[in-house]
Structure 1
Amino acid sequence: MFHHFTSSVMLTGGIDPHTHLAMEFMGTETIDDFFSGQAAALAGGTTMHIDFVIPVNGSLVAGFEAYERKAKKSCMDYGFHMAITKWDESVSREMEIMVKEKGINSFKFFMAYKGSLMINDELLLQGLKRCKSLGALAMVHAENGDAVFEGQKRMIELGITGPEGHALSRPAVLEGEATARAIRLARFVNTPLYIVHVMSIDAMEEISKARKSGQKVIGEPVVSGLVLDDSGLWDPDFITAAKYVMSPPIRESGHDKALQAALSTGVLQLVGTDHCVFNSTQKALGIDDFRKIPNGVNGIEERMHLVWDTMVESGQISVTDYVRITSTECARIFNLYPRKGAILTGSDADIIIFNPNSSFEISASSHHSRTDTNVFDGRKGKGKVEVTIVGGRVVWQDDELKVVPGSGKYIEMPPFSYLFNGIDKSDAKYLSSLRAPVRRFNSAS
């Protein structure tokens, strides 16, 4: 897992399960593409990421081809999740093509973003059933989109148009509700479920309850939710406040500590970033209306450092746990282990050399992302990635990147990860337990 030498440790390269590079969203496109976002990742010790393919006019194949083009300039390994934004027979057929021919083993359903990405319960049920039959993992963005729409109207009526209105319009109760609903529908279908960017105690407690009952539910907190609170949204400077706008929102103080505790005790399993960055000019699209601020924060470069400082340096987790939540568990969930997420004979040589005694400082002026802001700006901590090695090649050393566009590889992810173990048995048990249909005799009329 890790080897000690002098003061540094050798660890498996990080895998970020949740990024959005070159994504068209809310009338603009994220500023980091597959080269700049990946360069930032490598500088921060992450050697693979999984990005979300957004369908084109509902078509998965067209979406996949568009993302293949976007990723031509990649400089590190990447995989794809696929978002499902509408439902019909052709989407169902295309899901099979994605799983069997394109190396995709996860599909994401948005319960939020009414009028653009949001799907209803009927579609979610169809999607869960289809995922189950294909051995693909269903992922959800869990917020009640109908209620958020109401909350947004409420804020505008109150004259609250600034970034703070974003947090106030979509409180944690709406994340808890959607998380509970998704978990229960997944139980009804009997298929594993992955909850992306768990931002609140409300959502975390639903996941905890389901896991205690034996249900296969994975919870993914993101770095911003683990280390920040929502105070920045009240900053009098619009550009500063707007940079913190993401969904679900960063919560008030207290949620961050609770999410850290849940991660340290295994209630939550791995850490992503939801790296989805817009510069201050793009964020200013919502200068008069928080509903028009493109949602998203950074994290792809900062994740490995901040998780170490917040979780290992503070004594909440061990180095072994650190490797698990930043790399190994992601590789297992998405069926890449032991090719990824391990330092073993036959594994890809994606390795970082990490110095626990060195310190880092995060700044928008020195980071490798193309954006001009950083939600972790000014933050200092212990633990620094000194060297990043990808496939045996040194790509980051002495604070210098040596990356070539086009050197990254697309990594296919096979279906039926360990989360599907035993599903067929529990289905059979359910069928045999029904004691139905009951044979009834017709009483003479």
Structure 2
Amino acid sequence: MGRIDTSRGYARGVQSAVYRAGVSGTRPAVPTTFAGLEAAARAALGAEEFAYLAGGAGAEHTMTANTDGFAAWGILPRVLRDVRERDLSIELFGKRRATPFYLSPIGVLELAHPDADVAVGRAAAALDVPYALSNQASKPMEEVAAAMGEGSRWFQLYWSSSDELNASLLARAEAAGAEAILITLDTHLLGWRTRDLDLGFLPFTRGQGIAQYTSDPVFAELVRERVRSGAIGDPSAPPVKVTPRAIRTALGIARRGARTALVDGGALDALRSPLPRAAVETFLDVFADPGLTWERLARVRELTSLPVVLKGIVHPDDAERAVEAGFDGVVVSNHGGRQIDRSVATIAALPGVVERVAGRIPVLFDSGLRGGADAVIALALGATAVGIGRPYAYGLGIAGATGVGEVVRNFIAELDATLALAGATRIGDLGPGTLRAV
């Protein structure tokens, strides 16, 4: 896999490579369908790990609605058009992008693979697809940036209750070469995630998914202040039973705390120190800000010069407010159905947001995208760019960076094939006339 050249027919090249390898008995590293990806990831991962990556809020009606919503639209192909040469590129945040895809931020990727965000970054850079680094990453942004080289990267920020921490994270993102900031607005409280509740599993309580924090000097000082004040542990909570699992959890927290901004030493030093455990508790305290408002969010302009995009917009009035407030884009997203059950499907919300924005800022889209044909529908309904989420996480769990790369490759190839078969040669050719309500 390498840089995208769609002018000669990307889909045909991918198909040819797969079929030629098949002659020798070599099959792709990951399945091409979402159902196949999910089944293979379930088999490859532990029960807790898979549940966290696959699960949604409540009875998961929103997850179902996100995917089923695409069935409301059918592609209306045109024939006898010259589609020998095609251009999948788009303009976004002042740069020409090879395709309209980007990789949405997904946290705690160590649940899928030890290389986590680094593996995803390498795969994204190899395919010239932007990667939105998660605030809840398993690897510090600087490590991922080094692995990506010149690859395009953005940074997702969960607005913390600590303004100093927000400023530090944004400064680090700029220094690490981020081209844009995505502020996630729909996770100021943790959704009612039933699969995780049934298993009693929240990775953050085990020190997983907080590498952006433990590598941050401002966060490290917040942790030290907590230790100095003696505010470690909840005296009203029942004591944790000492079991083999609890001991493994403590060791895991210590191991992740070693050689970070918290503890300049090995796992044994971290195990002796109260700092790694205090870091978990500090994270749980400062992670989100339920009191965030439009007025307070405006301060982000003082903290970064990068384009700022608001992620989690589904209501047209909020999209209008984002334009009026001078933000640089919105992401129509419901967090992959992980926050509110019975929420409106993102593909159903997209046309209303696009209409209200009226081309004044880019409208990105995620939640529910399962292949290149879905991307065609979202782009025809007005999305500027489309984010891939769970599918690449499953690819990571199945085959590491190779799995991520094949998943993304397949999305691009199916988009290319669908575009041509619909009678179009450019992303700009897609529009309401490409679709019919069914």
User: TM-score when scaled to structure 1?
Assistant: 0.37
User: TM-score when scaled to structure 2?
Assistant: 0.37
Structure with more contact order per residue of length (Cα contacts < 8 Å, sep ≥ 6): 2
Return the structure number with greater helix share: 2
